[in-house]
Amino acid sequence: MTAIALMGAGRMARVHAAAIAAAGARVATIYDPVAQAAEALAETTGARIAASAAEAMADPQVEAIMIATSSDTHIELLDHAVSLGKPVLCEKPLAATFAESRDFVARVGEAAARRVFLGFNRRFDRGHASVREGVHAGRIGRLEQLTITSRDPAPPPLEYIPRSGGLFRDMMIHDFDMARSILSSDIVSVTAHGSSIVDPDIGRLGDIDTASVTMLTRDGTIINILNSRRCAFGFDQRIEAFGEKGMLMSDNPRQSGFRAFTAETPGTDAPILEFFMERYGPSYTAEIRLFLECARDGRDMPVNAIDGLMAAYLAEAAAASLKRGATVHLTGPDQDFAE
């Protein structure tokens, strides 16, 4: 049973701890500066609480490392994990800023960057993966349009907004990565629109809560991404790939197969899921299993720090487009977005 050092004991760390157990591994050591959180998670996992991140990672029994702390701590922890030579999975994003992501990849080198598993768990959702596999297998011929919809049931707490990095870097980054995983042609331009109409306080804090991004690939495929911090009917997560021979969709799973047939509800389906762990819980387990398999075999990670850098690049381009009110044409991840 693979022993893992878990960095963090907050919500995402708890999600990963459950996925680690479901994948047949175990949390051996935990570090979190909030002692109460570390103690609570250690009690449920049987892990030892370490006095520092370095101590948790260096424990002789630890075979792999998972980073599930706040975004602004990822790079420091990644640098240490990479220096130890132990396999590491880091929750998205790679870093708090695009510049930090770029510097990390340049510092460790491409080979080491490909050994860092980046936690874009939605790639491992069965419906989303089926769309990707179908497009790559040519089931709909040439891909012409790709539409990705991601809407949360409710906004995060306002205190989270200033440290989130913004909607493009925090929320839509999943969709940028998903688009890249489906496409076979490079993205050449990004056009973003955004507003704060769900909660004006989000706007006053310098962020947006409603957004759309249109991207164009070199071969002419059009990608549309829609995000909202509020969805009255649940956790709305859909992908539609349209091509010359048809369409592939990953739709919202329902709470059950129940349907009501009455005058008031003629053929009404059960509600969609309302919580991200209901929707994506199995994908976290699949992610951990693949990480452990690649670590055991010494293979490059299929979604890695390079993918994290490229998703951050698209997020940075979207933020620049929104600020400028114009389309941003992409030249490569060394691009300078300063006006």
pLDDT tens per residue across all 339 residues of the chain: 799 999 999 989 999 999 999 999 999 999 999 999 999 999 999 999 999 999 999 999 999 999 999 888 999 999 999 999 999 999 999 998 999 999 999 999 999 999 999 999 999 999 999 999 999 999 999 999 999 999 999 999 999 999 888 999 999 999 999 999 999 999 999 999 999 999 999 999 999 999 999 999 999 999 999 999 999 999 999 999 999 999 999 999 988 888 888 888 888 888 888 877 777 888 999 999 999 999 999 999 999 999 999 999 999 999 999 999 999 999 999 999 886
SS3 142: coil
Domain ranges of the chain: 3-122+282-303, 126-280+311-329
CA 62/CA 81 separation, integer angstroms? 11
**CATH architecture assignment, domain 3-122+282-303:** 3-Layer(aba) Sandwich (3.40)
Instruction: Please give the DSSP secondary-structure letter assigned to residue 327.
Output: -
SS3 147: strand
Structure-token pair, residue 217: 């690939």
Q: Could you give phi then psi for residue 236, rounded to 5 degrees?
A: -90, 110
Handedness of CA 292, 293, 297, 302 (dihedral sign): negative
What pLDDT is recorded for position 339? Answer: 64
> Do 207 and 166 touch, CB atoms closer than 8 A?
yes
Question: Up-side HSE of residue 44: CA atoms within 13 Å toward CB?
Answer: 14
Q: Which residues is 246 bridged to in the sheet? A: 243
**CATH architecture assignment, domain 126-280+311-329:** 2-Layer Sandwich (3.30)
> Do 176 and 263 touch, CB atoms closer than 8 A?
no
Instruction: Please give the DSSP secondary-structure letter assigned to residue 247.
Output: E
pTM of the entire structure? Answer: 0.93
What pLDDT is recorded for position 326? Answer: 97
Tokens 């609480």 found at: 49
